[in-house]
Amino acid sequence: MSYTILYNKQFVKVADDLFIPMVQIGDNNVYESDRKRARSWYNQRYVTGGRIWASSGEILSTIDRIREERIASNKRTIESGYLNEQDNYDDKRFGWHEGIAIYGKHTSNTTFGMFRNFYKAGIERALTVEKLVESGVCLHMKVYYYRPEDITSKGKEIRNDVLFTTTEQLVSTINEWVEYYGELADRIHLYYRDSWTLDELTKSMGKKVKRQRQWVESRTYYVLEGINGGNGYFLKGTSKGYRYSYTSTGAKKFLTEKAAKQFHKRMKNKDLFQVRLCEHPYTVSVPA
């Protein structure tokens, strides 16, 4: 069965709450000459009601509506006898029902939550044209056609491709093209070049930013001491319980009493330990 694969996304931020959903898409049964699945970047109007851009609320509402329509369609199909009861709609198998897979998943384990979060993340990580240009990513626009007559027979000229460099240019040019092409506006096609640069950009955006840390010297610290002198000093938790140190210097240390008490409160074996102040020079790594 043929289905659509969503490989990647890099939305364009047009205004504070206006986005162009740019998505890398391919079909599972379409291949390039090197035997890799074909994929391309598109302005996906599937989630914008057919428009080039939409607000975050409009995009997410459209996605919710896609789900509701799939539920209704699935119910009608079962009632007509074309599907069995075990094929009833399930959010956990949204991809199977809709014929969509998130890259790295199959349709049968692509959930509705994954599908919705794909676009939600695209909104949250959207970049302006200026930011894309700074990263070496080029956003272009052209008129798509199979034969020139598809455009010229309607009395319209085939305009040259446009490379966007600023948000102001993007907005004004798209508005101009949409007005000019009218009923042919669905042939306005946005795409990225330098896909390798774009892949690197989206990978780096998906990574968590490592928090910077600094070393701080203190003359006191707090530990978790075994009650009545038993169990030594808490070192670390394990799946079966905990490990301990014979000395406070080898134990898990806390810079403040508040931090020690918060950790102690969450411990499984908290009844075996108590917070204790140690007066001894100590160097600890803390967030900068």
Q: What is the pLDDT along the chain (288 residues), one digit of tens a residue?
A: 789 999 999 999 999 999 999 999 999 888 887 788 888 888 999 899 999 999 999 999 999 999 999 999 888 887 787 777 667 889 999 999 999 999 888 999 999 999 999 999 999 999 999 999 888 888 999 999 999 999 999 999 999 999 999 999 999 999 999 999 999 999 999 998 765 567 666 666 555 555 666 777 788 889 999 887 667 889 888 877 888 888 888 888 888 899 999 999 988 888 889 999 998 887 766 665
Q: What is the pLDDT of residue 237?
A: 84
Q: What is the pLDDT of residue 270?
A: 86
Give the number of other CB atoms < 10 A from CB of residue 238.
8
Contact 71, 89 (CB under 8 A): yes
Question: Residue 53 in 3-state DSSP?
Answer: coil
DSSP sequence for 148-177: THHHHTTT---PPPEE--SHHHHHHHHHHH
Q: What is the pLDDT of residue 284?
A: 66
Residue length of the chain: 288
Q: What is the pLDDT of residue 283?
A: 74
Q: What is the pLDDT of residue 54?
A: 96
- Between CA 134 and CA 172 the distance in angstroms is 21
Q: What is the pLDDT of residue 210?
A: 55
Q: What is the CA radius of gyration of the chain?
A: 28
Buried b (16+ CB within 10 A) or exposed e, 150-185: ebeeeebeebeebebeebeebbeebeebeeebeebb
DSSP annotation of 127 reads: B
Record the tokens describing residue 280, joined without a space.
Answer: 């001894």
